[in-house]
Amino acid sequence: MKILVTGGAGYIGSHMVARLGELGHEVVVYDNLSSGHEWAVLSGRLVVGDLADRPLLKTVLSAGNFDAVMHFAAFIVVDESVREPLKYYRNNFANALNLVEACHEAGVKKFIFSSTAAVYGMPESGQVTENSPFAAINPYGESKAMVEKMLKDFSSAVSDFNYVSLRYFNVAGADEQVRIGQARRDATHLITVSLRTALGKRQELNIFGTDYDTDDGTCIRDYIHIQDLIEAHVRALDHLADGGDSRVFNCGYGHGYSVKEVVAKVKKVTGVDFPVVETDRRAGDPPVLIADSSRLRSELGWEPKHDDLGFIIKTAWKWEKKYQKSLGDNAE
């Protein structure tokens, strides 16, 4: 297949592009490099462009004769979305609308969307199914929910346009060959921040809230290795290629680890007892957020291979050491 991957120079998108190349697909990456990197594109051709540039987007799609589009380009920092909501609605929703319109004009009928568990907000039950209601509590989650609603309505109106929306839980880890990984200077994910603290790039790690109704008082999250997440996308692509209808899937392992458990495992893997400071809760953090991924397993035959927190952290640790070394004196 010939596939356009938006945001394919970023963390998750670059892993997708590498895997598509391994599978023999022809790939074109469309990325403005605001948080992605040209060196992370291991397969195909890179077009440097913004989704707000409708003429360029239309030209690329119309000339490409693409079989499918995989959309990863988005802003993802929750607290930034609260401070700058218009930035998030413009990029995450309005630009996704630009992309879907351009797909429609170019006759692209298969679309895979990178969504998030943030659409669920603070669910009453810690484990959510795809039928759990949308209840986003920040502009990031709301902007993703808006795209999902738009895709649902558009696929209902255009019978031969089908999409798969994949709701990510906590994506972590890196390519086992240590070619690519998380390369955002401002990364906020717990595992990456913990590893950078272990490397001495941060003075201390903050734990936000220790009084939640969990065994150790800290929040519990479902962590999924990026390569297992990418295989979910491969299954989704196969589903659409086989004429499958529009579907939504949770992407997680179905169990979680608390913040303190993750930090303890990072210390064990790295061998570094870095300083940790317990501080107040952050607004909007649900005590427990775990995926019910039974639909992904049963309908697409997804079978995770890396459901092991130690393995996830080890691959992230190998990558982080390489990445920080590459930055040299410019490292944070």
Residues with active-site annotation = 140
In the β-sheet with 110-116, what is the strand arrangement from edge to edge?
45-48, 26-31, 2-6, 68-71, 110-116, 162-168, 247-251
Cα–Cα nearest to 291, from 240, 228, 238: 228
* d(C-alpha 101, C-alpha 233), whole Å: 22
- Cβ partners under 8 Å of residue 65, min gap 6: 2
* d(C-alpha 283, C-alpha 291), whole Å: 21
* d(C-alpha 255, C-alpha 69), whole Å: 31
Cβ atoms within 10 A of the Cβ of 242, count?
Answer: 7
- Cβ partners under 8 Å of residue 313, min gap 6: 172, 173, 191, 195, 262, 265, 266, 269
6 phi/psi in degrees, rounded to 5? -85, 140
Identify residue 211 by its one-letter amino acid code: D
DSSP state of 93: I
H-type alpha helices, 166-275:
190-198, 226-241, 259-270
Nearest 5°: the CA angle 294, 297, 299 is 100
DSSP 103-118: HHHHT--EEEEEEEGG
| Structure token digits, residue 150 | 């738009």
Q: Measuring CA to CA, how many Å separate 71 from each of 99, 151, 217, 330?
A: 9, 12, 36, 31
